[in-house]
Amino acid sequence: MDAFYDEGQLVAVLTTQPLGRPLDYKAPAGGCWEGAYVEVPLGPRKVLGVVWGPGQGDFDYNKVRPVIRVLDAAPMREELREFLVRAADYTLTPMPAMLRLATRAPGLGEAPSTRRIYRIGDDEPERMTDARRRVLEVLRDLGGLSLTQKELAEAAGVTPSVIKGLAKQGAVREEDAPRDTAFPRLDPDYDGKALAPDQQTAADALRAGVVSGRYGTTLLKGVTGSGKTEVYLEAVAECLAQGRQGLVLLPEIALTSEFLTRVEARFGAKPAEWHSGVTSTERRRVWRQISEGGAQLVVGARSALFLPYRDLGLIVVDEEHDTSYKQEEGVFYNARDMAVLRASITKARVVLASATPSLESWANADAGKYERLDLVSRFGASVMPEMRAIDMRGQELPSNRWVSPALAAHVRARIEKGEQAMLFINRRGYAPVTICRACGHQVACPHCDARMVEHRFLGRLVCHQCGETQPKPEACPECHAEDKLAAVGPGVERLAEEAAELFPEARLAVLSSDLFGSARALKDEIAKIATGGADIIIGTQLVAKGHNFPKLTLVGVIDSDLGLQGSDLRAAERTFQLMRQVAGRAGRAERPGVALMQTYQPEHPVIRAILSGDEEAFWKAEADERRVAGMPPYGRLAGIILSSTESQEVFDLGNAMARQDGPLRRIGAQVYGPAPAPIARVRGRHRVRLLVKAAKGTVLQPALAEWAAQFRLKGELRMAIDIDPQSF
């Protein structure tokens, strides 16, 4: 039970300001609970904080300032406080930064806001016009329900001034209604599907886990289309039936609307949403309802892990291998791992769902730390697509053409049958390189170690690292030759151009994240494709995930080798996952699908593993390689990223750190580097990285903290610690 502090008692308050440890304040009039969200004075400012425990009493009591006020919000539960502390320890993040992640609700603690709503009034308007009549008709048709001004104006096709006029005359009634209402109840039994036998077995196991009320993690591995979503929604149903809250994490905002519809079909109402696309008023409402139990299910992005659940019983991490779960700015954390941590503290279940799990999760299941459930076949009549390679070494393509005649013939055949084909390339923009044919200069970002990528759709060159854009220059910036800049290499926009020439009759849909102004526009395009409004879908990573296109029977991968270049040890894993995901888009309904992979390296072990579909063999081979190298998940790794505007300065510090590695040597860890970071220059800052490697089971954090504390960061120098880095 949390402590209560009477007025005047000393309390330690953790604030979101970068100060380190909690500071002492006096409890305000009326006292406060441990965990209370409070406003406290800090110098001349008022800042947000949480009562963290009893005060230290290190200072003269009379000089300690009182808490200004206790905010109108349920106190932070001990479970969340413990989670923040342990997540901070694991990621070596200062507590104030951790607290900021948990208080991302604008207007937190203010009294619930209201909005004006309108319903039919008692009086007749003095004068009737067409516009006024429409407003009154809309309201009458609602039979007592109310609308906001905007909704009403839209429904009646009038301007707000018409509504205001009617309100003045008493013909419509204006009222304040609270915004922060609870979410509609979800019914666990609303519309459950009859499950196939293997689905039922998996669902029963997940349900039993939820019923147990104990922590546990399950890897739900199933080929795309096997019904993983249906199965984990059963676990959600059980969680709802137990009266606990559920959280489903998804990697892409683009996926949520499709997903919400599915949840609604299953449980009869929409869940709460939490991601960057949610308005600040709605975020406030969600935050409050979660803490008060008025939201039973949250569907969200990784930051939803830090919400103040009243009783979290289940966390589903869908597409658990997805790299977007790793945050690599500010607080470096992997939402998949943090989900497991939070669940273990709050006695919840975790379901990690994927067709192509991360090697980490595969290994954890292998070691018995996670339970593993497999769905090996697609649901119903649909079967996994056949995978074939197109050996590009034999294909004679004109320059700047990427679709081989063999692939083109297959596409044509599909369209003629009234089916859909997809061309996949994992590169946004028109062309990755803009080169001067006179002097060979390549246009690069002024701030980053990256080329500028031409985007014809935007009519500009764009840096994919920092977002810098510029018009495409007429003359070479280096030698000033006119009209010599040429686009080199394929991007999704260019592929679309080629497809338009190759298949002039076909209706094309191009899907790339930067081609859509809003999540809504993207959603509409996806809906159009799903209902057969396109013959050929041309897309990047965006199309590899989750979407269901029933008429799609052919997937052509333009450049299967792309991910295999470079020195990243994870390249094989990533390529394998991406190719399997893309191929999984084909043949999801009755008609069987084919995936054709254009490759210059048909003998490459990864390509061969993808073609043969022998996943276990692939994972075992990958695991062996990592084990021999002592790399994750068979070794511990941390990255130290140093950055500064001065290149010399970062290398000097990096070298000093590499030399003074005493604290690390004492735990048997080695330091590698400094070397240029995977992205060596971003936004004008030079970045170098040191990698710290230790045996599996080593606790790295205290030694890392001791080591890093030896160095003072002067001027422009910054240091970030990345536990379990994604690339190595």
- Interface contacts to ligand ADP, rule CB under 6 A: 193-196, 199, 222, 224-230, 379, 548
Which of 14, 445, 485, 594 is the binder for Zn ion (CB under 5 A)? 445
| Among 55-63, 208-216, 293-301, 438-446, the segment contacting Zn ion (CB under 5 A) | 438-446
Cβ(543)–Cβ(422) under 8 Å? yes
Question: Rounded to whole angstroms, how far apart are CA atoms 411 and 418?
Answer: 11
Q: Which does 465 bind (CB under 5 to 8 A by kind): Zn ion, ligand ADP, none?
A: Zn ion
The minimum distance between CB 238 and ligand ADP, in angstroms, equals 16
The smaller minimum CB distance to ligand ADP, of residues 49 and 385, is found at 385
Torsion of CA 61, 67, 73, 74, to 10 degrees: 10
The minimum distance between CB 375 and ligand ADP, in angstroms, equals 7
**Contacts with Zn ion: how many residues (CB under 5 A)?**
7
Residue 185 DSSP label: P
- Determine how β-strand 245-249 pairs with β-strand 297-300: parallel
Residue 492 φ then ψ, to 5°: -65, -35
What are the helix and strand counts (H, E) for the chain?
20, 34
Question: Rounded to whole angstroms, how far apart are CA atoms 503 and 617?
Answer: 39
The minimum distance between CB 454 and Zn ion, in angstroms, equals 14
Q: Which does 466 bind (CB under 5 to 8 A by kind): Zn ion, ligand ADP, none?
A: Zn ion
The smaller minimum CB distance to Zn ion, of residues 153 and 445, is found at 445
Residue 498 φ then ψ, to 5°: -65, -40
Q: Which does 445 bind (CB under 5 to 8 A by kind): ligand ADP, Zn ion, none?
A: Zn ion
Cβ(291)–Cβ(328) under 8 Å? no
Taken in order 611, 616, 619, 621, is the CA torsion positive or negative?
Answer: negative
- Coil, helix or strand at residue 559: coil
Pair of tokens at residue 349: 């279940």
The minimum distance between CB 673 and Zn ion, in angstroms, equals 23
The smaller minimum CB distance to Zn ion, of residues 384 and 461, is found at 461
The minimum distance between CB 593 and ligand ADP, in angstroms, equals 13
When asked if residue 324 is in the footprint of Zn ion (CB under 5 A), the reply is no
- Determine how β-strand 114-120 pairs with β-strand 69-70: unpaired
Q: Which does 643 bind (CB under 5 to 8 A by kind): ligand ADP, Zn ion, none?
A: none
Which of 9, 465, 548, 601 is the binder for Zn ion (CB under 5 A)? 465
Q: In residues, how long is the chain? A: 728
| Contact mark string toward Zn ion, 467..486, x via CB under 5 A | -x------------------
Q: Which does 195 bind (CB under 5 to 8 A by kind): Zn ion, ligand ADP, none?
A: ligand ADP
Residues 392-411 that bind Zn ion (CB under 5 A): none
Which of 219, 463, 557, 690 is the binder for Zn ion (CB under 5 A)? 463
On the 0-12 / 13-18 / 19+ scale of CB atoms within 10 A, 110 is exposed
When asked if residue 466 is in the footprint of Zn ion (CB under 5 A), the reply is yes
The response to whether 476 counts as a known ligand-binding position is: yes
The minimum distance between CB 634 and ligand ADP, in angstroms, equals 29
| Among 5-13, 211-219, 243-251, 455-463, the segment contacting Zn ion (CB under 5 A) | 455-463
Q: Which does 463 bind (CB under 5 to 8 A by kind): ligand ADP, Zn ion, none?
A: Zn ion
Identify the CA nearest to 414 among candidates 581, 539, 586.
586
DSSP conformation letters of 25-68: EE--TT-EETT-EEEEEETTEEEEEEEEEE----S-GGGPPBP-
Other beta carbons within 10 angstroms of residue 70's beta carbon come to 20
The minimum distance between CB 575 and ligand ADP, in angstroms, equals 20
| Among 168-176, 225-233, 440-448, 507-515, the segment contacting Zn ion (CB under 5 A) | 440-448
Which of 447, 460, 507, 627 is the binder for Zn ion (CB under 5 A)? 447
The smaller minimum CB distance to Zn ion, of residues 322 and 454, is found at 454
Residues 476-535 that bind Zn ion (CB under 5 A): none
Pair of tokens at residue 73: 């919000």
The smaller minimum CB distance to ligand ADP, of residues 546 and 654, is found at 546
Count the helix, strand and coil residues of the chain and give each as a percent rounded to the nearest 5.
35, 25, 40
Cβ(696)–Cβ(680) under 8 Å? no
The smaller minimum CB distance to ligand ADP, of residues 28 and 222, is found at 222
The response to whether 239 counts as a known ligand-binding position is: no
Q: Which amino acid is at 546?
A: G
The response to whether 439 counts as a known ligand-binding position is: yes
The minimum distance between CB 265 and ligand ADP, in angstroms, equals 9
The minimum distance between CB 447 and Zn ion, in angstroms, equals 4
The minimum distance between CB 446 and Zn ion, in angstroms, equals 7
Taking only Cα atoms into account, the Rg of the chain, rounded to an integer number of angstroms, comes to 29
When asked if residue 138 is in the footprint of Zn ion (CB under 5 A), the reply is no
CA atoms within 13 A on the CB side of 165: 16
> For 570, left (φ over 0), alpha (ψ -120 to 50), or beta?
alpha
Residue 132 φ then ψ, to 5°: -65, -40
When asked if residue 461 is in the footprint of Zn ion (CB under 5 A), the reply is no
Other beta carbons within 10 angstroms of residue 662's beta carbon come to 11
DSSP conformation letters of 103-119: T--TTTTSPPPEEEEEE
The minimum distance between CB 684 and Zn ion, in angstroms, equals 9
Residue 674: asked if its preceding bond is cis (omega within 30°), the reply is: yes
The smaller minimum CB distance to Zn ion, of residues 173 and 447, is found at 447
- Coil, helix or strand at residue 140: helix
When asked if residue 595 is in the footprint of Zn ion (CB under 5 A), the reply is no
The smaller minimum CB distance to ligand ADP, of residues 191 and 474, is found at 191
The minimum distance between CB 509 and ligand ADP, in angstroms, equals 20
Q: Which does 548 bind (CB under 5 to 8 A by kind): Zn ion, ligand ADP, none?
A: ligand ADP
Question: Rounded to whole angstroms, how far apart are CA atoms 281 and 499?
Answer: 44
Pair of tokens at residue 547: 């979407």
CA angle, 583 then 586 then 587, to 5°: 135
The smaller minimum CB distance to ligand ADP, of residues 55 and 246, is found at 246
Q: Which does 334 bind (CB under 5 to 8 A by kind): Zn ion, ligand ADP, none?
A: none
Q: Which residues are annotated as a binding site for Zn(2+)?
A: 436, 439, 445, 448, 463, 466, 476, 479
Q: Which residues are annotated as a binding site?
A: 436, 439, 445, 448, 463, 466, 476, 479
Site residues, Zn ion (CB under 5 A): 445, 447-448, 463, 465-466, 468
